[in-house]
Amino acid sequence: MIALRKKAARAPADVEQQLAGFIDKFEPRNRTLIRAVRRALRKRLPTAYELAYDNYNFFVIGYSPTERPSDAILSIAASATGVGLCFLYGATLRDPAKILKGSGNQTRSIHLESADVLARPDVESLIAAAIAQSRTPFRSTGRRQLIVRSVSAKQRPRRRGASRTPI
């Protein structure tokens, strides 16, 4: 695995271009969905750190009040089979509508058919609850920052029916 951390400061445009390359690996429908969900979450969390991972199984963008991945509360997780919104501490969220999926000790997720799902009252209340239970509050001012945390040399295909990415 190639790890890219903030140590070597890179121009924001370069990092955005790298992120665009990660997203471009997906089928057009998933590319559009990832970008739309990202826009919605950036609007909802304007001061968040976006922590990007182009890993073996998933492409992920985590949203955190700090640069530390352990502080992230939400993430977009995408694979060839679709896009989801992960609540990193979803097991502790009150979910009266029973929309969160998963049975692990910590994470729960929602499969996203469109970015409009984020505006549903039950999903918005889950996002608000995740923000409220964050151990570290999000900054009230400042700019978001995109950080590419890791890129795996070997990855599962990002498109259905595609062969594995060569090493």
Give the Cβ contact number of residue 84 at 10 Å.
19
pLDDT of residue 166: 42
Contacts (Cβ under 8 Å, ≥6 apart) of 138: 45, 47, 48, 65, 131
Q: How far apart are CA 62 and CA 147, in angstroms?
A: 10
Q: Which pair of structure tokens corresponds to residue 97?
A: 């509508």
Query: Which sign, positive or negative, has the C-alpha torsion 126, 129, 142, 148?
Result: negative
**Could you please report the per-residue DSSP string of 41-84?**
HHHHSTTPEEEEEE-SS-EEEEEESSS-GGG--EEEEEETTEEE
Q: How far apart are CA 101 and CA 129, in angstroms?
A: 16
Give the Cβ contact number of residue 87 at 10 Å.
24
pLDDT of residue 68: 93
DSSP class of residue 106 equals S
Per-block mean pLDDT, blocks of 10 residues, the chain (167 long): 50 85 92 96 95 89 95 94 94 94 94 95 96 94 85 68 50
Q: How far apart are CA 95 and CA 122, in angstroms?
A: 8
pLDDT of residue 155: 61
